[in-house]
Chains A and B, each alone.
Chain A
């Protein structure tokens, strides 16, 4: 089962094979969890979002076209779940704590739970934390999760050109922070 291809497992899952779907979940749970974490910056929320996303993906897997790549499709489900949670969490805070009506999304937190093993990586992480939430997500997805620009676009449901321009802007900003004299 572990050596089966995604296409084989998906085809079986589409016929209602729970065991095949379980193999897919085990194959992608780490990447899915980290993707949710990059969006939510909260371990428990990311865990809940990932679990719910896998359940939703199971229900929707009958609509998945086997000829398409599975990974970006799954990550899109994960990202949608994570973004919905972030938005509803913020709306709750706005309504119940601040008594506000705006639907603006929270600036969120910073990836300070991530740990870099060296001074350089710690400095880079500090620099990443100065970026906007959207730019943080794209940088972490591209470099920490090693997603391609096309996969990031599919995951976040935005045009690939937007990913490219945001990434370029984020790198320029990072370079300013890491090496301000350049």
Chain B
């Protein structure tokens, strides 16, 4: 005889009476987010994220400024102090380079560019090319997207998103993302590679102490390229953008 038969009967009755929160229409969002091609798996991605998480949980490893995650050409640092340099404009040349056409960008990049297909409107409003001297062939292409109803602006700039893809030497970072004590940051797994999510950080370069306030930033690695998405989008939507990349 089951000791709890009566109670179980009550629980079964309870399940018929329960009113759960209404189920959202998830299928539509999933349908919009499924890329047309399957992104390749990145070996060791989970291991990298686990190592990053371990680093953060270890107090000595958090000391002062430290590099915690190097995407190709992008370095993430944790800082225990505010930065003192000049505030740069949102699209400063030292950060993203000079305006070019899509065709010029692709020729300079030397391989097919990828384009986000989730949320960000096509085509980008502007494209920038950066090939800093002494950076071991590092090339960065940045696509700037105007704010829309689905893409909130960064501060009051009218810019909705700044998407950068970089190739080159991984030991010569150019963009430096600094996480201040007040910032929110965490390692994330994007499904196409390991990444880092930062809210309220600052963006600078290795060449000086100048920097600027940035929107929410997702940095991730995939296919030996480094990627960076700066926008007002939340973490999960940014990850969906990362997972939506398609070759042009």
Q: Footprint of B on A, CB under 8 Å?
A: 16, 18, 21-22, 25-26, 29-30, 32-34, 37, 43, 46-48, 50-52, 54-56, 58-59, 62, 88, 91-92, 95-96, 101, 103, 113-118, 120-121, 124-125, 139, 142-146, 168, 171-172, 174-175, 178
Contact = CB atoms under 8 A, between A and B. Distances in A.
A3 to B, nearest CB: 17
B30 A54 contact: yes
A96 B62 CA distance: 14
B21 A52 contact: no
B20 A22 contact: no
Interface residues of B, number: 37
Q: Which of B3, B13, B20 has the most CB of A within 10 A?
A: B20
Given A25-B26, A175-B7, A146 B33 contact: no
Contact of B18 (A46, A95, A115, A168): A115
Main secondary structure of the interface of B (DSSP, over half): helix
Nearest to A175: B7
Contacts of B19: 114-117
Given A25-B26, A101-B57, A115-B18, A171 B186 contact: no
A143 B15 contact: yes
Contacts, number: 113
Contacts of A37: 20-21
Nearest to B244: A55
A115 to B, nearest CB: 4
Contacts of B30: 22, 25, 51, 54-55, 58
B4 A171 contact: yes
Interface string B1-25: 0011001101111110111110111
B48 to A, nearest CB: 16
B111 interface: no
A55 B15 contact: no
Contacts of B21: 37, 43, 46, 113
A50 B30 CA distance: 10
A101 B243 CA distance: 32
Given A116-B17, A120-B10, A143-B14, 16 more contacts: A22-B31, A25-B26, A30-B23, A32-B26, A52-B239, A55-B240, A58-B34, A59-B39, A88-B186, A92-B186, A116-B14, A121-B13, A125-B18, A143-B8, A145-B15, A172-B4
Contacts of B31: 18, 22, 25
Contacts of A101: 57, 59
Contacts of A34: 20, 23
Contacts of A29: 23, 25-27
B248 interface: no
B184 A121 contact: no
Contacts of B11: 124, 139, 142-143, 174
Contacts of A52: 236, 239
B121 interface: no
A51 B186 contact: no
- The 3 nearest A-B residue pairs measured at CB: A143-B11, A171-B4, A115-B19
B191 interface: yes
B29 interface: yes
A20 B47 CA distance: 33
Contacts of A143: 8, 11-12, 14-15
A32 to B, nearest CB: 8
A169 B156 CA distance: 56
B38 interface: yes
B20 A51 contact: no
Q: Which of A22, A51, A58, A125 has the most CB of B within 10 A?
A: A51
A59 B243 CA distance: 10
B34 A121 contact: no
Given A25-B27, A171-B7, A172-B4, A55 B34 contact: yes
Interface in B25-50: 25-27, 29-31, 33-34, 38-39
Contact of A114 (B18, B26, B57, B240): B18
